[in-house]
Structure 1
Amino acid sequence: MNNHEAINWADFKNQLLLHPDLDLQFQYAENKWVDASYHITEIKQAPITSVDCGGKMNRWTEIIIQLWEPVNQQQDRAMQVNKALSIINLVEKTLPLNPLGTVKIEFGNSEFDTRQMYPNTIGANGGNLIIDLRPDSVQCKALERGGSCGTTATGEECCTPASEKPKIELKNMAIAPVCVPGGGCC
């Protein structure tokens, strides 16, 4: 969740509850909007368990709202927040959603490859509740913990805490006549 705070499910839902009578609009890129005819096709709860490059196990939950733009079904107005809340309530009757789960919106159309994005900002503007979506980027959790990333000369694990990173011996390759196996130059 690069350079912005991800919103959890409880906070996201509370934002919707504050504006039930507004139209719910999604902006997925600069001056690019999900067509008003969109549908919320499903809400997924994805428990994630991973092991990062430093060998540390990580766990979190993502709540993913999938949007679909039907072809040739243009509308002037998007669904109201109340309609989205009714879909959420229907889902939560069957699948209790983790209030601390990280919210992502999944969307794509013929001009925009499908991806999961984070709500960057949520704000009322006139008769609309606008959710501005921004993609995440790949990050190294070991670096975020204060470790370092890179391959050591001995091929040891790449992401060790900075204080444990071995020192690398530099050799002057200009004076080595030939690089041979075991010669230390390769």
Structure 2
Amino acid sequence: MSNEKMTWQTFKNQLEKHPERVLQFQYAAGKLVAPSYHITEIKQAPVTSVDCGGKMNAWTEIIVQLWEPEEVQTDRAMIASKAMKIVHLVEQHIDLHPGATVKVEFGNAAFDTRQMYPKEFILDGEQLIVNLQPDATQCKAIDRGDTCGTPVTKDSCTPGGGCC
């Protein structure tokens, strides 16, 4: 699995490349968001942080929020071109950064709401499945070789590890 995060431009390109495909989101192994889902909003979030080594970090995220209504409204998910209509509507109001990291926010009665990364697009028959992977915490200071002021082993930036 690659640590590369999908950009907004890559995400959009995949939707545009397959406009007539049924757009599905897989949030766990074998679990798809209900076909009557809605894209309720698209958010652009600038993030600024300071890690445990004292280095400032900044990036932009674009979060696509999905909602499953309680009542089943359809047995077929939206097609990619309908999702792109929503994207174009949003882009009339917000200049979405093409290099921003994409996250998909989703939850239902059986799955706590969380933000996940699109790992890959899978073509399956008439479907375009966005395979989502959970976010994971990391120690940016350790990843760049900083000791955070403590002796470092690769796993020292864990709870109780003395770094983060």
Same-fold status (TM-score > 0.5): yes
What percent identity do the matched residue pairs reach?
60
Q: Which consecutive unaligned segments of at least 5 residues does structure 2 have?
A: 152-161
Q: Give me the whole-angstrom Cα distance separating, in 2, the residues matched to 1:23 and 1:3.
A: 26
Instruction: Report if the CA contact (8 A) 1:4-1:120 is conserved.
Output: no
Other-structure match for 1:176:
none
- Indicate whether 1:76 and 2:75 are aligned: yes
**Structure 2 counterpart SS, 1:130:** strand
Matched, 1:38 2:37: yes
Within 1, Cα distance between the matches of 2:147 and 2:78?
47
Q: In 1, distance between residues paired with 2:2 and 2:143?
A: 12
Structure 1 runs of 4+ off > 4 angstroms?
149-152
Which residue is equivalent to 2:129?
A: 130
The Cα shift of 1:149 comes to 5.0
Matched, 1:109 2:108: yes
Highest Rg: 1 or 2?
1
Q: Is the 8 A contact 1:23 1:78 kept in 2?
A: yes
Other-structure match for 1:65: 64
- Mapping for residues 1-186 of structure 1, pairs under 5 Å: 3-149=2-148, 151=150
Aligned residues: 153
Contact in 1 for aligned 2:53/2:149 (Cα 8 Å): no
Q: Which amino acid aligns with 1:76?
A: D
The residue identity in structure 1 corresponding to 2:37 is Y
Contact 1:25-1:36 within 8 A present in 2 as well: yes
Structure 1: distance between partners of 2:73 and 2:28: 19
1:10 deviates by: 0.6
**Could you state the TM-score of these two structures normalised by the residue count of structure 1?**
0.78
Higher strand share: 2
CA displacement at 1:123 relative to structure 2: 2.0
Residues 103-112 or 122-131, more deviating: 122-131
Partners of 1:41 and 1:61 in 2: how far apart? Answer: 20
The Cα of 1:150 is off from its aligned counterpart by 7.1
Residue by residue over 1:51-99, the C-alpha shift from the partner in whole angstroms, topping out at 9 and shown as x without a partner, is 0000000000000000000002252210000100000000000001000
* CA distance in structure 2 between the partners assigned to 1:18 and 1:47 by the alignment: 28
For 1:12-54, what per-residue CA distance to the aligned partner results, in whole angstroms no more than 9, with x for missing partners?
1001110000000000001111000000000000000000000
- Structure with larger RCO (C-alpha < 8 A, sep 6+): 2
Cα RMSD (Å) of the superposition?
Answer: 1.6
Contact 2:66 2:106 in 1 (8 A): yes
